[in-house]
Chains A and B, each alone.
Chain A
Amino acid sequence: MSEADPVQAEVETLLALVRERYGARLDPEQEAGVRTAIDGIVRAARALRAVRLGTAEEPAQPFAAYRADP
């Protein structure tokens, strides 16, 4: 891991979080699988972050204030 490898730095940081929560359940092979999955998550996230959006670009999801009738 080095400054030249920011993806792996992020992967290792997030893996530490997952290991803290679930490490007791993971054997070495499973932890390697989790690491691979986190690598994919990080690469996807970096691709998303690379696209710049204006602040008016809202999440595309519905939310409506709720009030039971009447």
Chain B
Amino acid sequence: MADPVVFVPLRQLAEDIRARRLSPLALAEVFLDRLERLGPRYNAVVTVTRARALEQARRAEAEIAAGRYRGPLHGVPYGAKDLLATAGGIPTTWGAAPFKDRVFDVDATVVRRLEDAGAVLCAKLAMVELAGGMGYRQPHASFTGPGVNPWNREAWSGGSSSGSGSAVAAGLVPFAIGSETWGSILSPAGNCGIAGLRPTYGRVSRHGAMALCWTLDKLGPLALTADDCGLVLEAIAGRDPADPTTVDRPFRYEGGGTGRRFRFGVLRGITEGCEDEVRGNFARSLEVLRGFGSVEEITLPDLPYDDITRTILYAEAASAFEDLIESGGIAGLTAPEDRYTAYARDAILAKDYIKALRLRGVMAREADRVLAPLDALVAPGRLTVAAMLGGELRSAIRGTARDVMGAVGNGAGLPAVAVPNGFGARGLPTSLQFMGRAWEENIILAAARAYQAATDWHRRHPADA
């Protein structure tokens, strides 16, 4: 039986902390203990940041006692994907053996903003090496071992924010920060039965985060609920002079009920290739959505969406890791296929990359045109439940699966939130995603909250956590 402070949504934790019914120091101790004791079970943790956590928790306790309450994350533990730089001698490994001892002397902007909000950094969380940018095909692609799913320890937790997904699902931290270039927040959230929010490109500073693809990388929260994700997003969003892609659009999270009806769209044929359970759970989810909104089928123009985003991703990743690739340093990576696949990226012609960038503009306009009359496009979060640890991964990034929502959403920089919507094969969770127009995180979060208010999938937790 988990401690009663585990699997508690942020709003409740915050209220108990603010009212001093819950000590930030005691809370940190609970989660530090779980990270140290249970983290290895899921290969979820790279570094437990005990000293920094206790120092931050003591500070939070003192400030709250003195009446200086900072807000809903004050005194709340969290974990950061290990591609976010952390000062103070804490390694930042990018999940990759060649960087396992590397230390930065600054905090990433997101880490600093969470510190400003009073949150308590308890762990650097495991990830697929180099955020999966070198072409991995199976879960054994991190020097900390494959991410293990808390719902079924023979299954993968997802990637590339593997530890961010499993740590939240197993109650090792109340929330985590992940990154998504294509699928790396929504995939582990869906695989692990939690909520994950991919913000609009430019909403959250990537300063201090590992660069995989400059025009695709986003940072966002994974947490128990869509509401939790909104609370975290408010703390980390905003312009940052150190990241020129961030924009001056302040984000104020509008939590609570909206009392309005929503208008949802579903792309024609979106469940083609889905596992039966995924398709069935999605159909049942649509029935739930019809309880507070309309659902209509829509189409996108015929464009090579997956090819557009894949070409951009491959080309930029090859450039970002040019030194590692050309020096042969990729030979030190864990997944055998990561040790050579990136050599193929030299075959991408500049003209084709530019064409992808030109088509990206068309894609972004078409996506916005389709989304403009809607509140959100909805779709299964993933075509399948989590892969087994010994299995080959189907991936739209490699072209072995289709993911129009992911290709358009990431290629056009659109926000999406995934929430659990049932279970499929082998007792593994399935998920539902809501994707909105650029900068409309509040709308998709409101829709996801409405769905979660009508269902209880987010209140179910792994039996052995």
A interface, CB within 8 angstroms of B: 14-15, 17-18, 21-22, 25-26, 30, 33-34, 37-38, 40-45, 47-51, 53, 57-62
Q: Nearest Cβ in chain A — how far from B349, in angstroms?
A: 7
Question: From residue 296 to 331 of chain B, which have CB atoms closer than 8 A to chain A?
Answer: 303-304, 306-308, 310-311, 314, 328, 331
User: Besides the contacts A51-B303, A53-B359, what 18 more A-B pairs have beta carbons closer than 8 Å?
Assistant: A14-B346, A18-B347, A21-B343, A22-B343, A25-B343, A34-B343, A41-B344, A43-B399, A44-B311, A44-B352, A45-B311, A47-B307, A48-B307, A48-B355, A49-B355, A51-B359, A53-B362, A59-B358
Q: Which residues of A contact B304 (CB under 8 A)?
A: 44, 47-48, 50-51
Q: 1/0 contact trace for B85-125 toward A, CB 8 Å?
A: 00000000000000000000000000000000000000000
Cβ A17 vs Cβ B347 within 8 A: yes
Q: Nearest Cβ in chain A — how far from B82, in angstroms?
A: 26
Which chain A residue lies CB-closest to B341? A37
In the bound complex, how far is the Cα of B355 from the Cα of A49, in angstroms? 7
Cβ B399 vs Cβ A21 within 8 A: no
Which listed residue, B328, B340, B345, B361, touches A41 by the CB 8 Å rule? B345
**6 interchain residue pairs of minimum CB distance:** A37-B344, A60-B361, A59-B357, A14-B347, A47-B304, A44-B307
- The reply on B240 being an interface residue by CB < 8 A is no
Q: Nearest Cβ in chain B — how far from A22, in angstroms?
A: 4
Q: Nearest Cβ in chain B — how far from A29, in angstroms?
A: 9
Q: Please list 19 pairs of residues, one from A and one from B, whose beta carbons are closer than 8 Å in the complex, sorted by A's number.
A: A26-B340, A30-B339, A33-B337, A34-B341, A38-B344, A40-B310, A41-B311, A44-B352, A45-B349, A48-B311, A51-B304, A51-B355, A53-B355, A57-B361, A58-B361, A59-B354, A59-B357, A59-B358, A61-B215
Which listed residue, A22, A37, A45, A58, touches B352 by the CB 8 Å rule? A45
Cβ B361 vs Cβ A44 within 8 A: no
In the bound complex, how far is the Cα of B340 from the Cα of A45, in angstroms? 21
- Chain B interface residue number, banded: 35 or more
Q: 1/0 contact trace for B237-271 toward A, CB 8 Å?
A: 00000001100000000000000000000000000
Cβ B310 vs Cβ A44 within 8 A: yes
Q: Which residues of B contact A51 (CB under 8 A)?
A: 303-304, 355, 359
Cβ A48 vs Cβ B356 within 8 A: yes
In the bound complex, how far is the Cα of B159 from the Cα of A2, in angstroms? 40
- The reply on B360 being an interface residue by CB < 8 A is yes
Q: 1/0 contact trace for B280-310 toward A, CB 8 Å?
A: 0000000000000000000000011011101
Q: Which residues of B contact A21 (CB under 8 A)?
A: 343, 346
Known: A44-B307, A49-B352. A18 touches B346 (CB 8 A): yes
Cβ B399 vs Cβ A53 within 8 A: no
Q: Which residues of B contact A25 (CB under 8 A)?
A: 328, 331, 340, 343
Q: Nearest Cβ in chain B — how far from A20, in angstroms?
A: 10
Q: Which residues of B contact A30 (CB under 8 A)?
A: 339-340
Which chain A residue lies CB-closest to B215? A61
- The reply on B394 being an interface residue by CB < 8 A is no
Q: Nearest Cβ in chain B — how far from A11, in angstroms?
A: 8
Known: A48-B304, A59-B361. A34 touches B344 (CB 8 A): yes
In the bound complex, how far is the Cα of B360 from the Cα of A62, in angstroms? 13
Which chain A residue lies CB-closest to B342? A37
In the bound complex, how far is the Cα of B343 from the Cα of A17, in angstroms? 10
- The reply on B188 being an interface residue by CB < 8 A is no
Q: Which residues of B contact A38 (CB under 8 A)?
A: 344, 347
Q: Which residues of A contact B347 (CB under 8 A)?
A: 14-15, 17-18, 38, 41-42
Which listed residue, A41, A49, A59, touches B348 by the CB 8 Å rule? A41
Q: Which residues of A contact B358 (CB under 8 A)?
A: 53, 57-60
Q: Which residues of A contact B399 (CB under 8 A)?
A: 40, 43-44
Cβ B364 vs Cβ A45 within 8 A: no
Cβ B361 vs Cβ A18 within 8 A: no
With most chain A CB atoms within 10 A of its CB, the pick from B341, B355, B398 is B355
In the bound complex, how far is the Cα of B341 from the Cα of A19, in angstroms? 12
- The reply on B135 being an interface residue by CB < 8 A is yes
Q: Nearest Cβ in chain B — how far from A3, in angstroms?
A: 21
Q: Which residues of A contact B352 (CB under 8 A)?
A: 44-45, 48-49
In the bound complex, how far is the Cα of B229 from the Cα of A26, in angstroms? 44
Q: Which residues of B contact A53 (CB under 8 A)?
A: 355, 358-359, 362
In the bound complex, how far is the Cα of B314 from the Cα of A22, in angstroms? 18
In the bound complex, how far is the Cα of B293 from the Cα of A46, in angstroms? 41
Q: Nearest Cβ in chain A — how far from B312, in angstroms?
A: 10
Which chain B residue lies CB-closest to A22? B343
Q: Which residues of A contact B339 (CB under 8 A)?
A: 30
In the bound complex, how far is the Cα of B404 from the Cα of A46, in angstroms? 18
With most chain A CB atoms within 10 A of its CB, the pick from B331, B337, B359, B360 is B359
In the bound complex, how far is the Cα of B179 from the Cα of A49, in angstroms? 30
With most chain A CB atoms within 10 A of its CB, the pick from B306, B307, B328, B359 is B307
